[in-house]
Structure 1
Amino acid sequence: MNILILGSGGREHAFTYKLSQSKKLDTIFVAPGNAGTAEIATNVAINPTDFDAVKKVVLDNNITMVVVGPEAPLVEGVHDFFLADDALKSIPVIGPKKDGALLEGSKDFSKQFMEKHNIPTAKYKSFTQKTLTEGYAFLETLQPPFVLKADGLAAGKGVLILDNIDEAKAELKEMLTNQKFGAASATVVIEEFLKGIELSVFVLTDGKSYKVLPSAKDYKRIGEGDTGLNTGGMGAISPVPFADNAFLTKVEERIIKPTVDGLQKDGIDYRGFIFIGLMNVAGDPFVIEYNVRMGDPETEVVLPRIASDLLELFEGVANQNLNEKSFEVIAQTATTVMLVSGGYPEAYEKGKQISGVEFVEDSIVFHAGTKLENDTVVTNGGRVMAITSFGDTIQEALQKSYKNIDKISFEKMNFRKDIGFDLQ
């Protein structure tokens, strides 16, 4: 089989790494990819949301399956584009169509979906510029902190958590009236704050049956002890120690089954990943958000723990016989630590030469924001590399990652030294 992976980050490198282990694979193309995917696949310099360019790559290279990494092509309808084109419609796309992608593309839609199918989540209401005054009144009914979410995609920046009601009202006005997050905040969801500890559960579904992938926890803040600005993710741990069998059974019964069943009841033919962001509130799971693709850097700890052939599982998704596919998970813990550019998540410089990767032993290096420049690997983003390791304990796995990080360097390299600090 010839596979095309859309995307350029650590998640896509992890997909490339895992799929390249399949006996069924012939070649992998990654669009646009990075310096890491270039080592084990063929990069194609196109934008994943340029569907005509994607079509050309697919037809020119006899692609037999497309795996979509990021959310933007899904929300913009890449799967629908394939189904509407006679030359493409027989080629399976791993990722939902536009109607299913609304679970991530619209916070309001996803909250309505949860309410309709009795899926536990924080109480909420949605507001527009016309109902700003009602929004102020709803804030008055809540206890701080106040959670404001832009309805649409805002590159991970559309969620505000505020302790002061006057500040919350001012930010609500900024979002609705002054388009703080552009069109994404034309509608704003206000919801009650859930107090607990976060984790993520990942599901692969063919629209009828599903496989529950390993749980993971990521660390979003730039600073030690979860302080400072939010990032795309500074590291991750899998499995999550507190997500024991009893808790995961609750997740499956109360959240996963009603989600998959709800999609079927609503006539949404959903084939791909469902990322369920959860809050463990005193032992009970509540949904914070859905994403319609794998997370990053969680993918870098979840995929390496899957012992089964990922391409075989994807065939099960495409053919709707996923329930017939064997699925095994490696018991060991996987941890990943993200190396980031100095200044990230604010302004940072690109083009810094990366050295020492060839000396890494007993860890997997997943490239994120890198590229090849005159045969040299240089930085090309805020999050540069994820260093993933296995161990019998979190401490053992982290020790390997940090030991190997000592061998890698680029100018102003930064990373968190306390990934997993709250789980040990």
Structure 2
Amino acid sequence: MNILLLGSGGREHALAWKMVKSHHCDDLFIAPGNAGTSQFGTNLPIEVTDFEAIKKACIEYKIQMLVVGPEEPLVKGIYDFIRQDAQLRHITVVGPSAEAAQLEGSKAYSKKFMQRHGIPTAAYAEFTSDNLEEGKAYIRHHPLPVVLKADGLAAGKGVVIAATHEEALQVFEEMIVHRQFGEASSKVVIEAFLQGIEVSVFVLTDGQDYQIIGHAKDYKRIGEGDTGLNTGGMGCVSPVPFMDAFFMQKVEERIIRPTVQGLSKEQLDYHGFIFFGLMNVNGEPFVIEYNCRMGDPETEVVMPRLQTDIVSLFAAMDNGTLVDTNIVFDERSCAAVMAVSGGYPGSYLKNFLISGLETLETDGSAMVFHAGTREEDNEVLTNGGRVLAVTAYGNTIAEAVAKSKAVLENIRFEGIYYRKDIGYEFN
């Protein structure tokens, strides 16, 4: 079948790499893609939220499956757009409806969903400009630290953990009064801080059944030792040593199963990935957030470890046989180390030449997934804050990380920076 993949990051490069391995994939198109995705299919100069241009491409290239990488087109209703169009409704869409995507699109929506279905999460309250003073009073009496979240999509930047009441009040006002994140922060969710280790679990679901396709731990801080500003992710490891069968049984029984049952009970149209952002609090899992798509850079370690044909899984999701599929994992560890532009996550420059990509070994033990890159005159240039991830296999996490770093030593662009301590606690 012909498949259209929406997105342009490392997640999409990893999905493209995985999908073209399937005998079900005839031609792959990526919109808009990056310099890496062009190795596996045809990049189309289409923005992920330009639904009319997506429709035109679906008709022109006889698309039979649409895989949605980022969250924005899902929250804006790409699933519903395809389903409601007579020329497109035959297309299998990997992604939830706009209503179901509110699990990611609105922190308040997801918190209420978790409350209704008894899913463990931090205590919270929500506020808008209508009850601003009430919110300030709530903050003044809240135990520290306190977590403030912009309700809507804020490109991964709408969460602040405030160490003092003064800082929390300032952030609260910035978000609501000064609209720091635009409409996304017109409502703010304030919640209790959970002390623990953050991990992620990924499932594919048809809204009735599900399959767990992997788990991972990512490293969000820019600095080594988990210091400095938050980023979109500086690296990732999988499998996570402490996420053993006992812990995963708790995750499945208390979180995954009630979530999917909740989707079914509330008749939410959900055919796609659920990314469970969890906190391991002394061995007990709590939900920090839902995402309605795969993570980045988590996809760059989950897809290499997943040995099951991903397009077959998408087809099973579509035809109601997902429950019967067999999920097989590579037993090796996998690590991804992200190389970023100088200055990231603050301001940074683009369009620097990337060299050394051609030196990558071809034995399959390591691969480069492009994130913020573009092609010009047969050269690869930087085109974002997070530029590329090197993913490698190893018998241990330490071995996989060492392999990734060895490859990165041969890759150069002006201002290149990467953390050398990814997976440090598992060495």
CA distance in 1, matches of 2:426, 2:347: 31
SS of 1:100's equivalent? coil
CA distance in 1, matches of 2:171, 2:39: 45
SS of 2:426's equivalent? coil
CA distance in 1, matches of 2:393, 2:376: 31
CA RMSD of aligned residues (A): 0.8
Instruction: Measure how far apart 1:17 and its partner are.
Output: 0.2
CA distance in 1, matches of 2:48, 2:320: 25
Q: Is the 8 A contact 2:237 2:423 kept in 1?
A: yes
Aligned to 1:322: 322
Q: How does 1:44-193 map to 2 (within 5 A)?
A: 44-193=44-193
CA distance in 1, matches of 2:254, 2:371: 34
CA distance in 2, matches of 1:324, 1:243: 24
Between 282-291 and 360-369, report the one with greater CA deviation. 360-369
SS of 2:215's equivalent? coil
Q: How does 1:211-226 map to 2 (within 5 A)?
A: 211-226=211-226
SS of 1:342's equivalent? coil
1:411 and 2:403 aligned? no
Q: Provide, for residues 334-392 of structure 1, a one-character-per-residue CA deviation record: whole Å limited to 9, x for no partner.
A: 00000111111111111111111111123111011011011101111111110000111
Q: Is the 8 A contact 1:146 1:161 kept in 2?
A: yes
SS of 1:203's equivalent? strand
Aligned match of 2:392 in 378, 386, 389? 389
* TM-score w.r.t. length of structure 1: 0.99
Instruction: Measure how far apart 1:174 and its partner are.
Output: 1.8
- 2:270 maps to a residue whose letter is Y
Between 140-149 and 91-100, report the one with greater CA deviation. 140-149
Q: Runs ≥4 in structure 1, deviation > 3 angstroms?
A: none
Instruction: Measure how far apart 1:177 and its partner are.
Output: 1.4
SS of 1:184's equivalent? helix
Aligned to 1:334: 334
CA distance in 2, matches of 1:406, 1:168: 41
Aligned to 1:197: 197
Q: Provide, for residues 149-191 of structure 1, a one-character-per-residue CA deviation record: whole Å limited to 9, x for no partner.
A: 0000011111111111022112212211121111101110000
1:401 and 2:401 aligned? no
1:368 and 2:381 aligned? no
CA distance in 2, matches of 1:210, 1:294: 15
Instruction: Measure how far apart 1:33 and its partner are.
Output: 0.3
- 2:426 maps to a residue whose letter is L
- 1:51 maps to a residue whose letter is F
SS of 1:88's equivalent? coil
1:296 and 2:296 aligned? yes
Instruction: Measure how far apart 1:207 and its partner are.
Output: 1.1
CA distance in 2, matches of 1:319, 1:142: 48
Q: Is the 8 A contact 2:158 2:181 kept in 1?
A: yes
Instruction: Measure how far apart 1:270 and its partner are.
Output: 0.8
Between 140-149 and 374-383, report the one with greater CA deviation. 140-149
SS of 1:144's equivalent? coil
CA distance in 2, matches of 1:423, 1:86: 52
CA distance in 1, matches of 2:215, 2:5: 23
1:235 and 2:235 aligned? yes
Q: Is the 8 A contact 1:207 1:320 kept in 2?
A: no
- 2:91 maps to a residue whose letter is I
Q: Is the 8 A contact 1:333 1:397 kept in 2?
A: yes
> Could you list the runs of 5+ residues in structure 1 that have no partner in the other structure?
none
CA distance in 2, matches of 1:256, 1:178: 37
Q: Is the 8 A contact 2:213 2:327 kept in 1?
A: no
SS of 2:276's equivalent? strand
SS of 2:242's equivalent? coil
CA distance in 2, matches of 1:226, 1:194: 17
CA distance in 2, matches of 1:421, 1:121: 27
CA distance in 2, matches of 1:171, 1:345: 19
1:264 and 2:275 aligned? no
Aligned to 1:38: 38
Q: Is the 8 A contact 1:206 1:321 kept in 2?
A: no
Q: Is the 8 A contact 1:236 1:301 kept in 2?
A: yes
SS of 2:303's equivalent? helix
CA distance in 2, matches of 1:168, 1:381: 30
Q: Is the 8 A contact 1:4 1:66 kept in 2?
A: yes
Instruction: Measure how far apart 1:142 and its partner are.
Output: 2.3
Aligned to 2:356: 356
Report how many aligned residue pairs link the two structures: 424
Instruction: Measure how far apart 1:133 and its partner are.
Output: 1.6
CA distance in 2, matches of 1:182, 1:162: 20
